[in-house]
Amino acid sequence: MGATVAAVEPLALRRTLAGFATGVVVVATHQPGMGNVGLTVNSFAAVSLEPPLVLWCLRKSSRLLGAFVRSGKFSVSALTEFQLEPCNHFASREPGKRGDGYFRPGAQDVPVVREANAGLVCRVKRHFEEGDHVVFIGEVLEAFSRAEPAGPLVFFGGRFHHALPMG
């Protein structure tokens, strides 16, 4: 029999995870009938270079789950320190939020955020439920980055930060 691990309370885990600094991205898709939709995400991570794979996690109860599953494609846009406004827009739970003004069309017309530092357009390779989230694994179809990137938007301690280079 394995040792029992004491359950970590969700709030305590959330507080601890806040100590792991992340970048901030907007994940977006286009869904016929719903138009362009997106949300602010910090669960994004690289998975593999060959083949090119990335992942992100979506709350199972998100009203956007159907859109990502049905469209089978998504973009990931890395926000700059000047993009707190789209960050807050896409983090809001306001129903019917569209944010079309923030997007331009990427590969296969998947919407990507204008002026982002870097971006990817992906095909959903697989998605699966894990705990209270759905994990999306994406195969990268298009990758682009700004010739002169701005500072990144950083999420740490439940707040947004600028990042300064160390030398």
Ligand X SMILES: Cc1cc2nc3c(=O)[nH]c(=O)nc-3n(C[C@H](O)[C@H](O)[C@H](O)COP(=O)(O)O)c2cc1C
Task: Output the CA angle 145-150-156, nearest 5 degrees.
Answer: 105
The whole-angstrom separation of Cα 67 and Cα 69 is 6
Q: Which of the stretches 46-54, 56-64, 68-76, 138-146 binds ligand X when contact is defined by CB under 6 A? A: 56-64
For the bound state, the minimum distance from the C-beta of residue 165 to ligand X, rounded and expressed in Å, comes to: 22
Query: Of these, 18, 23, 43, 154, which contacts ligand X (CB under 6 A)?
Result: 43
Nearer to ligand X, 1 or 45 (CB): 45
Interface segment toward ligand X; rule CB under 6 A; list 8-16, 38-46, 76-84, 112-120:
38-46
Is there binding between residue 26 and ligand X (CB under 6 A)? Answer: no
Class of residue 150 by CB neighbours under 10 A (exposed 0-12, middle 13-18, buried 19+): middle
Whole-angstrom distance, CA of residue 44 vs CA of residue 62: 16
Tokens 């494609």 identify what position?
A: 73
Candidates 91, 137, 141, 150; binder of ligand X (CB under 6 A) is 91
Within positions 123 to 162, which residues make up the interface with ligand X, using CB under 6 A? 155
When binding is defined by CB under 6 A, the residue of 32, 49, 93, 96 that contacts ligand X is 93
Instruction: Based on the shown chain and the rule CB under 6 A, indicate whether residue 31 belongs to the binding site for ligand X.
Output: no
Nearer to ligand X, 86 or 167 (CB): 86
How far, CA to CA in Å, does 141 sit from each of 93, 119, 124, 156? Answer: 29, 11, 10, 30
- In whole angstroms, what is the distance from residue 121 CA to residue 125 CA? 12
Residues in contact with ligand X by CB under 6 A are 24, 39-43, 57-59, 62-64, 90-91, 93, 155
